[in-house]
A and B are shown apart, each in its own frame.
Chain A
């Protein structure tokens, strides 16, 4: 067994098991909060983007283009240094990170939801209007549920990207999985164990999400079939 210890000292990893576990939990809940927020705002940005009022859709389009054409790291820095200047030190690092990631992920979700909405046949709107639904009711009870179940697989793909993106929050000192790896590295100065463990933990999350997304797609894809 000693040759294995030369390559990978799993005893040290054992000492840091709880750090990595906490990091994984942090990554998961940060991702979950960002996912919920970005889906919520994404629906509104998508509706704004599809609006026929010129200033409304132009603002949404400019926001989407700006986020898509600049790196997340720069956006995180802008929020991290800009937010305290605007409103004072109101949020801690984790909250700032969640805000930055939500601002980053919302346009991607909005674009996916928009393609979903556009793929729903016009007859659905006409049918809903004909039974006396208002415009809002039609959108929220008829169009959106169908649209979201149609684009569920790109939404899940974007969620995987979101989980990976949380790693960049370690740069503004948010404690999550990457932060756990960096902490172990700064305390033990052994790169192999620190970063390999981080990678394996991310892969574990990824595999869990692969399995979960297969399950979700079977559930919601079935609704699409009939």
Chain B
């Protein structure tokens, strides 16, 4: 038993620099994608609620395309297909392809959340703001959006967990994030495949679990007030 423990501890010791570097890379990629995706998604979500049929159709098409196809397919399209169009600006290396695909993927979720949160704010709020003499834009940004923002917190946190977990897929295009680092480690220590995967799972758990807890806590908070 003691021997087994020391053997495993040695594996942890020798792998921890690589796995922690992987975790850091996962963290960076996911944070960048979450920030960019949330901004893009918030913008599209607000645009979707405006009275413009063309905008609404365009944004809905985008949503359906990104929610109807697996993230793996989207990643392949952005990493392999866009460069073959022959436009220099679209020849991404793996890092930009990862960021761009994850941002678009995140935004597709955020757009739907923001749009439905804005719809959930009672119509009377906007009417009241308009009758106080606010312009349409003022009513939207000072009255409707701040109220909607609160409603978006719990679903947003669950989307962030989905995004963090999706970064594992980035290992297929060779980005050296946590999963990829683990795979490299397994090539060096093929006898401990299961143990290394469990270590990786534990590291993802450490990252995702607090966000999940926050989501359910926020859900309770928002649910109480409404």
By a beta-carbon cutoff of 8 Å, the part of chain A in contact with chain B is 65-66, 68-75, 77-78, 81-82, 85, 160, 164-168, 170-171, 178, 181, 185, 190-192, 195-196, 198-199, 202-203, 205-207, 210
Q: Is the CB of A73 within 8 A of B179?
A: yes
Q: Is the CB of A199 within 8 A of B165?
A: no
14 new A-B pairs (CB below 8 Å) besides A65-B209, A202-B68?
Answer: A68-B208, A74-B204, A78-B194, A164-B70, A164-B71, A170-B72, A181-B76, A191-B76, A191-B81, A195-B80, A196-B81, A199-B69, A202-B73, A206-B69
Q: Is the CB of B65 within 8 A of A73?
A: no
How many B residues, CB 8 Å from partner? 36
Q: Would A85 and B194 be within 8 Å (CB), given that A65-B212, A70-B201, A195-B81 are in contact? A: yes
By a beta-carbon cutoff of 8 Å, the part of chain B in contact with chain A is 64-65, 67-74, 76-77, 80-81, 84-85, 161, 165-169, 171-172, 179, 193-194, 197-198, 200-201, 204-205, 208-209, 212
Q: Is the CB of A195 within 8 A of B208?
A: no
Q: Is the CB of B71 within 8 A of A68?
A: no
Q: How many A-B residue pairs have CB under 8 A?
A: 107
Q: Is the CB of A68 within 8 A of B212?
A: yes
Q: Would A202 and B168 be within 8 Å (CB), given that A69-B204, A77-B197, A82-B194 are in contact? A: no
Q: For residue B200, which residues in chain A have a CB less than 8 angstroms away from its CB?
A: 74
Q: For residue B71, which residues in chain A have a CB less than 8 angstroms away from its CB?
A: 164
Q: Would A195 and B165 be within 8 Å (CB), given that A69-B204, A203-B68 are in contact? A: no
A199 smallest CB distance to B (angstroms)? 5
Q: Is the CB of A68 within 8 A of B194?
A: no
A216 smallest CB distance to B (angstroms)? 18
Q: List 10 A-B contacts (CB under 8 A).
A: A68-B212, A71-B169, A72-B168, A81-B197, A168-B169, A195-B76, A199-B77, A202-B68, A203-B69, A206-B64
Q: Is the CB of B193 within 8 A of A71?
A: no
Q: Is the CB of B169 within 8 A of A195?
A: no
- Bound together, the chains give a CA A76 to CA B31 distance in angstroms of 25
